[in-house]
């Protein structure tokens, strides 16, 4: 973590947040993060400008809870629309005062303009996106190039996980700073929010992730469905009948598996986490995954894919699998051999030690202040 900053001249404390779709957050880890960081910085005396993406409307500016929002339009949709939006944001921010906090490096080639103008740029480097199997070779090349550019043109590159920081250093970025993602502590949640899905507190497992091979969704569903469990498995995420992998996952599921689709109401997701018997996390790559951190905040016992990313986040007192049979064996031991109570307490302790929003926001504020 970054040390706490000294008092500085508040007239210079201006930060511009780029790289997200906007606030308040509709979805996405970076949007959620910005929605927590921006109000905190405002309380610390910063002027906060946040760039927000609009589709097909004129550019405009407004204020939301004291935070200045700069709405930039893009007629295109999808990835093309995001690229156009990012380019227009960079062109706009170069005429404004302040430090630029860029969340993500996918279009870091545009951020070179900010550095050429002598601006201070802090960039959150997200995960190692170019390694993900879902991307085509040309997209991987684009992501690899922009990761290299972002890590080396920014004044400070921010990694959300020690392994990401080490990766950046191996690729020439000696100045990487590690600040993880944060999550709220969930201490209570109404049971009626889970009952609408036919669930009872402590009688189901939960997994929240994009349905992609690298997130081990098929392995999770198959391992759980290998026999009758007397439990439910709640798999949150969007499934499309046009996606072959999605069809394969659903075909592997027993009638004890529930696919509710994407759920975006925070209070419902929090309740589903809080009342779960354990959280299943299959992510094989990435940094500090928000869903895993949020599970720690809910005090969930964790059953996670065994890799260096997940082990650092969740700690050594959780349960790990490296194959479908190993996961099946862990699920078999629920109720007999796994100390879920101890794991839940360890999850809460790990969250309080590393991943509270207060710690994360304070670290960012200290880093920004050092750049004044």
* CATH number of the domain within which 134 lies: 3.40.50.2000
Residue 289 lies in a domain: yes
Is residue 55 a contact partner of residue 77, using CB atoms and an 8 Å limit? yes
Per-residue confidence at 11, pLDDT binned at 50, 70, 90? low
Name the residue with tokens 């993900």: 132
Do 31 and 159 belong to one domain?
yes
Per-residue confidence at 348, pLDDT binned at 50, 70, 90? very high
Do 36 and 148 belong to one domain?
yes
Name the residue with tokens 């190692």: 128
Residue 274 lies in a domain: yes
Do 89 and 159 belong to one domain?
yes
Residue 14 lies in a domain: yes
pLDDT at 279: 99
**DSSP code per residue over 171-232:** TT-TT-EE----B-------THHHHTTT--TTSEEEEES---GGGTHHHHHHHHTTS--SSE
Is the pLDDT confidence value at 115 over 80? yes
Residue 44 lies in a domain: yes
Is the pLDDT confidence value at 320 over 70? yes
Do 162 and 240 belong to one domain?
no
Q: What is the pLDDT of residues 155-208, one digit of tens each?
A: 999 999 999 999 999 888 888 999 999 999 999 999 999 999 999 999 999 999
What share of the chain has pLDDT > 90, as a percent? Answer: 84
Domain that holds residue 62: 10-182+356-370
Per-residue confidence at 5, pLDDT binned at 50, 70, 90? very low
Do 329 and 344 belong to one domain?
yes
Question: Which of 185-189, 264-268, 351-355 is predicted with the least confidence, judged by mean pLDDT?
Answer: 264-268
Is the pLDDT confidence value at 64 over 70? yes
Residue 1 lies in a domain: no
Do 164 and 242 belong to one domain?
no
Do 14 and 163 belong to one domain?
yes
Residue 343 lies in a domain: yes
Do 178 and 251 belong to one domain?
no
Residue 5 lies in a domain: no
Label residue 345 exposed, middle or buried (CB < 10 Å: 0-12, 13-18, 19+). Answer: middle
Measure the CA–CA gap between 102 and 153, rounded to whole angstroms.
12
Residue 62 lies in a domain: yes
Is residue 68 a contact partner of residue 88, using CB atoms and an 8 Å limit? no
pLDDT at 344: 97
Please give the mean pLDDT across all residues of the chain.
93
Tokens of 77: 């949709």
pLDDT at 55: 83
Is the pLDDT confidence value at 283 over 90? yes
pLDDT at 3: 41
Do 366 and 293 belong to one domain?
no
Do 25 and 92 belong to one domain?
yes
Measure the CA–CA gap between 223 and 232, rounded to whole angstroms.
13
Q: What is the pLDDT of residues 142-154, one digit of tens each?
A: 999 999 999 999 9
Do 102 and 206 belong to one domain?
no
Do 213 and 142 belong to one domain?
no
Q: What mean pLDDT do residues 345-369 have?
A: 98
For the chain, the domain total comes to: 2
């Amino acid at each position: 973590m970054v040390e706490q900053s000294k008092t500085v001249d508040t007239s210079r404390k201006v930060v511009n947040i780029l790289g997200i779709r906007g606030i308040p957050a509709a979805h996405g880890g970076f949007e959620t993060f910005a929605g927590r960081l921006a109000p905190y910085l405002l309380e610390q005396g910063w002027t906060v400008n946040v760039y927000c993406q609009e589709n097909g409307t004129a550019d405009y500016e407004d204020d939301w809870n004291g935070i200045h929002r700069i709405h930039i339009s893009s007629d295109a949709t999808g990835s093309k629309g995001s690229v156009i939006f990012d380019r227009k944001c960079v062109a706009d921010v170069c005429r404004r005062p302040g430090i630029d906090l860029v969340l993500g490096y996918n279009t870091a080639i545009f951020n070179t303009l900010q550095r050429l103008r002598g601006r201070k740029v802090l960039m959150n480097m997200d995960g190692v996106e170019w390694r993900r199997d879902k991307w085509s070779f040309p997209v991987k090349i684009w992501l690899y190039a922009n990761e290299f550019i972002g890590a080396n043109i920014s004044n400070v590159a921010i990694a959300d996980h020690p392994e990401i920081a080490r990766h950046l250093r191996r690729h020439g970025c000696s100045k990487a700073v590690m600040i993880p993602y944060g999550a709220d502590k969930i201490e209570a949640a109404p049971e009626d929010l889970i009952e609408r899905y036919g669930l009872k507190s402590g009688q189901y497992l939960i997994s929240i992730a994009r349905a992609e091979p690298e997130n081990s969704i098929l392995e999770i569903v198959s391992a759980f469905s290998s026999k009758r469990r007397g439990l439910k498995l709640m798999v949150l995420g969007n499934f499309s009948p046009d996606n072959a992998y999605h069809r394969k996952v659903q075909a592997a599921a027993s009638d004890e598996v529930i696919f509710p689709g994407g759920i975006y109401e925070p209070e419902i997701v929090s309740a589903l986490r809080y009342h779960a018997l354990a959280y299943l996390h299959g992510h094989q790559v990435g940094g500090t995954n928000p869903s895993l951190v949020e599970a720690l905040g809910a005090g969930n016992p964790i059953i996670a894919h065994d890799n260096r990313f997940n082990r650092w986040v969740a700690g050594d007192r959780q349960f790990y699998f490296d194959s479908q049979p190993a996961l099946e064996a862990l699920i078999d031991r629920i109720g007999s051999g796994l100390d879920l109570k101890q794991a839940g307490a360890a999850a809460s302790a790990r969250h309080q030690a590393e991943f509270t929003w207060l710690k994360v926001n304070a670290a960012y504020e200290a880093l920004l202040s050092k750049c004044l």
